[in-house]
Chain A
Amino acid sequence: MTQVSMTVNGESVSGDVEDRTLLVEFLRETLELTGTHVGCDTSQCGACVVHVDGKAVKSCTIFAAEAEGAEVQTIEGEAAPDGTLSTLQQAFQDNHGLQCGFCTPGMVMSAKALLAENPKPTEAEIRAYLSGNLCRCTGYHNIVKAIMAASGQDVSSIAAE
């Protein structure tokens, strides 16, 4: 057992875990932050994406010990303390960018990383950036639309209602 300490969503946390503990296990089981999901075991689905020191990573493919001392951000830290959704979260709701919700935390965290790098991405840039996030419900249409909307782009002409 090793003690790991890090900052998660702005709070200092620590826990005694086996060295083989993955970051996602530390988040879900030790910290009981179950918003970060596990959808595969080959690092492809992206349901587990969180930010470590500001970068999107797959928390199922990094040991908790490797995040020692890091700043970790998860989906639980995205809304304001009073519960107000972030611009990106709100855009997902406004544009029906989620159905079952399982891929959603990873999608939001990946999209957040994209917008930090590229504040006004094109449709093609969004689609390429999401190549590590699988969604089985939406056909991606409304996810792409939500991210475009969150970046301030007019999405009214995309398959208008």
Chain B
Amino acid sequence: MYELNITRPETLADAVEALGHDEAMALGGGQTLIPTLKQRLANPETLVSLTGIAELSGISRDGDMLIIGGTTTHAEVASGATDYPALAALAGGIGDPAVRNRGTIGGSLANDDPAACYPAAVLASGATIVTNTREIAADDFFEGMFTTALHDGEIITAVRFPIPQKANYQKFDQPASRFALVGVFVAQTADGVRVAVTGASEEGVFRWTDAEAALSADFSPTAVDGLNVSADNLIGDLHGTPEYRAHLVKVMTKRAVAASG
């Protein structure tokens, strides 16, 4: 790891100020960033730790919205997001227990790993990313692999999830990393069904709109039987071909619909 400084602000304002400097980088739970730093693949001058800022952490309910603070850990969501069981289950399946005790929702979303779980929940739920300066709709947030709409220094303070009528996340593990080889989040709301897919695409999380239309008309596993996912632009690596991933998208979608409650 290159030499760096760590600051641990206690207020959002101080964190924003600290991140205003060049070569400063936000540190959430660090579960991806610290391994990256160890490999010397990043060289920030200063890490601004967000986990000491009380106002960024916690889970609350606002009408039909579940609001999760940016530094809320996966473990806290797994045990605390009882109003949104599919989201809690997703959080409880990220990484392993020790990783879940440190990793944060804001960190995961800001990193936007193409195989991360949270982006699927955010996109399928039609959630809103709240930052220190603005609110960003999920559909506008994810801009491709490891790329989001966040500006330099912008901090995810919370994520607002509309609670769907029915939802479920099905993850098929990449056998080594246990990230999603393919993960599918299905959410049914009064406005219809949204289906978000992670792990599969070279362009990061995406919505499977054909399935959304079919499931909005008939929310049953067989509704997607006639559909096929194109393997174009899907990831091919030593764990699976694009064709395999395309197939899994459909299988996981059907399973998610069947398990939605």
Contact = CB atoms under 8 A, between A and B. Distances in A.
Given A43-B99, A58-B31, 13 more contacts: A19-B6, A20-B1, A22-B34, A44-B177, A46-B96, A61-B34, A61-B35, A62-B102, A63-B30, A63-B49, A66-B51, A129-B97, A133-B96
Interface of B is mostly: loop
Interface string B103-133: 0000000000000000000000000000000
Interface residues of B, number: 27
Given A18-B3, A58-B102, A63-B30, A68 B97 contact: no
A132 B99 contact: yes
Interface of A: 2, 18-20, 22, 41-44, 46, 49, 55-58, 60-63, 65-66, 68, 110, 113-114, 129, 131-133
Given A19-B6, A66-B8, A56 B35 contact: no
B49 A132 contact: no
Contacts of B99: 43, 58, 61, 132
9 contacts: A43-B31, A46-B98, A56-B98, A56-B101, A66-B51, A110-B98, A114-B97, A132-B96, A132-B99
B6 A56 contact: no
Contacts of A133: 96
A61 B31 contact: yes
